[in-house]
């Protein structure tokens, strides 16, 4: 298994190009199942989760051609409507094929995602919504088996705000008979990006990006072209890393408007930010100030940035509280950060972080995707050498993170293992 070797204590400075958003690309790739015509995508990030999704779609019979960040998909000869356990267990977002498959082919078999490191993460809301649209759902041998002659529009109230739940139901509803209203829908920008391409494909969707999404079903969808939005979490991760090291950087191919809650917190920490159309410049003079954060659904502070702010607070001036309200077990990075000397006390879903002037390099283990990014950040600040093991987690969601950090002056190398 590959590792990162990092020599810390460097101030990050330079320019970094932000990739397309993983969490927008995943549902959009699955949306290709909704039409027999070609879907042509640009700005698709080169990530392990993307490769897994393409592999899954290929297994189903989708024709795929890929040229760097450009991907074309044609689902005209889908022969298999199955997402097997081997793929679903490595990537929960495989559940996103469920809605499109049932809507277009009247059947899908998707392995039930198991528990995952950051919490139990059930898919009950996805299933309840499809049932309200008339799908018959059975759990057989660990698989979700869903069938429907044709889905029918329904009023669906989501008990909890769910991002992939909203996306799955929105995709399913595009081909249903009649109108579907999703209430208490997630409002994440990735949902808006998905709605954009679905609309290009001929879907009739109103309200994406608000908490009520209305979809008037159509009989069929056609081909479309789309460029995936910038990754707001990758953007936030690099900004926070630069702030933690007291550096200066220009992020390109991104959009500040997608992450206001994160930018506000960085300014509170003392960063100076300048935004232009598709760039953000950050200048942080000296150590940042510790800032309280509380995760909640968009537009509030994203859970996917919680670990990175924990790492920044660990080297900041003062103390701050980090509260996680989305996932029940998303503090696994704390133990690893403590190995670097970070002073963090946990009580329930709140962590009190006391900033230290320095951390010391150590051997760390990546546990989940965003937690791993926080470990890289902390190791960049720490004095001396750190080794980060199990970085396959980070490869799931960050494109060439070591090259991007190296471009900012970091001393980081991948050690093949």
Positions in the binding site for ligand UD1 (CB under 6 A): 23, 26, 92-93, 119, 121-126, 160, 162-165, 186, 190, 303-304, 326-327
CB 304, min distance to ligand UD1, A: 5
Phi, psi of 243, rounded to the nearest 5 degrees: -60, -40
Return the active site residues: 116
Whichever of 138 and 358 has its CB closer to ligand UD1, that residue is 138
Q: In what order do the strands lie in the sheet with 293-294?
A: 293-294, 319-323, 350-354, 343-347
CB 90, min distance to ligand UD1, A: 13
CB 73, min distance to ligand UD1, A: 18
Whichever of 52 and 245 has its CB closer to ligand UD1, that residue is 52
Whichever of 3 and 126 has its CB closer to ligand UD1, that residue is 126
Whichever of 115 and 318 has its CB closer to ligand UD1, that residue is 115
Whichever of 162 and 386 has its CB closer to ligand UD1, that residue is 162
CB 57, min distance to ligand UD1, A: 15
Give CA–CA dist 199/208, Å, rounded: 11
CB 312, min distance to ligand UD1, A: 19
Strands 385-389 and 3-7: antiparallel
How far is CA 133 from each of CA 106, 217, 219, rounded to the nearest angstrom? 12, 11, 15
- 3-state SS string for the chain: CCEEEEECCCCCEEEEECCECHHHHHHHHHHHHHCCCEEEEECCCCCHHHHHHHHHHHHHCCEEEEECCEEEEECCCCCCCEECHHHHCCCHHHHHHHHHHHHHHCEEEEECCCCECCECCCCHHHHHHHHHCCCEEEEECCEEEEECCCCECCEEECCCCCHHHHHHHHHHHHCCECEEEEECCCCCHHHHHHHHHHHHCCCEEECECECEEEEECCCCCCCEEEECCECHHHHHHHHHHHHHCCCEEEEECCCHHHCHHHHHHHHHCCCEEEECCCEEEEECCCCCECCCEEECCCCCECHHHHHHHHHHHHCCECEEEEECCCCCCCCHHHHHHHHCCCEEEEECCEEEEECCCCCECCEEECCCHHHHHHHHHHHHHCECEEEEECCHHHHHHCCCHHHHHHHCCCEEEEECC
CB 382, min distance to ligand UD1, A: 26
Whichever of 125 and 133 has its CB closer to ligand UD1, that residue is 125
CB 328, min distance to ligand UD1, A: 7
Whichever of 124 and 149 has its CB closer to ligand UD1, that residue is 124
CB 234, min distance to ligand UD1, A: 12
Task: Check: CB of residue 361 under 8 Å from CB of residue 6.
Answer: yes
Whichever of 1 and 160 has its CB closer to ligand UD1, that residue is 160
């Amino acid at each position: 298994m590959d590792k990162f070797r990092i020599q810390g204590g460097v101030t990050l400075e330079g320019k970094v190009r932000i990739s397309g958003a993983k969490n927008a690309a995943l549902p959009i790739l699955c949306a290709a199942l909704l039409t027999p015509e070609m879907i042509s995508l640009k700005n698709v990030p080169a990530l392990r989760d993307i490769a897994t999704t393409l592999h899954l779609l290929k297994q189903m019979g989708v024709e795929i051609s890929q040229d760097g960040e450009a991907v074309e998909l044609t689902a005209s000869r889908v022969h298999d409507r199955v997402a097997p356990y081997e793929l679903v267990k490595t990537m929960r977002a495989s559940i996103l094929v469920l809605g499109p498959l049932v809507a277009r082919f009247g059947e899908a078999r998707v392995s039930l995602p198991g528990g995952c490191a950051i919490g139990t993460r059930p898919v009950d809301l996805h299933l309840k919504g499809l049932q309200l649209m008339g799908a018959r759902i059975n759990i057989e041998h660990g698989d979700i088996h869903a069938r429907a002659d044709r889905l029918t529009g329904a009023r669906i109230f989501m008990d909890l705000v769910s991002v992939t739940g909203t996306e799955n139901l929105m995709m399913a509803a595009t081909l249903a008979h009649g109108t579907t209203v999703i209430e208490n829908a997630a409002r994440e920008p990735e949902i808006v990006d998905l709605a954009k391409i679905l609309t290009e494909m001929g879907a009739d969707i109103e309200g994406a990006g608000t908490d009520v999404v209305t979809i008037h079903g159509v009989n069929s969808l056609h081909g479309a072209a789309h460029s995936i939005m910038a990754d707001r979490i990758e953007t936030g991760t690099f900004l926070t890393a630069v702030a933690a090291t007291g550096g200066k950087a220009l992020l390109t191919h991104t959009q500040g408007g997608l992450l206001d809650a994160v930018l506000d917190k960085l300014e509170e920490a003392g960063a100076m930010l300048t935004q232009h159309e598709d760039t953000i410049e950050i200048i942080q003079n000296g150590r940042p100030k510790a800032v309280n954060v509380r995760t909640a659904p968009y537009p509030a502070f994203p859970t996917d940035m919680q670990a990175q702010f924990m790492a920044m607070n660990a080297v900041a001036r003062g103390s701050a509280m980090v509260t996680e309200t989305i996932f029940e077990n998303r503090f696994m990075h704390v133990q690893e950060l403590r190995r670097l000397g970070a002073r963090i006390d946990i009580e329930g879903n709140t962590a009190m972080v006391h900033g230290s002037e320095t951390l010391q390099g150590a051997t760390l283990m990546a546990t989940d995707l965003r937690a791993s990014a926080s470990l890289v950040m902390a190791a960049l600040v720490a004095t001396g050498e750190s080794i980060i093991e199990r970085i396959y987690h980070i490869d799931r969601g960050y494109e060439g993170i070591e090259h991007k950090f190296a471009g900012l002056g970091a001393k980081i190398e991948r050690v093949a293992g």
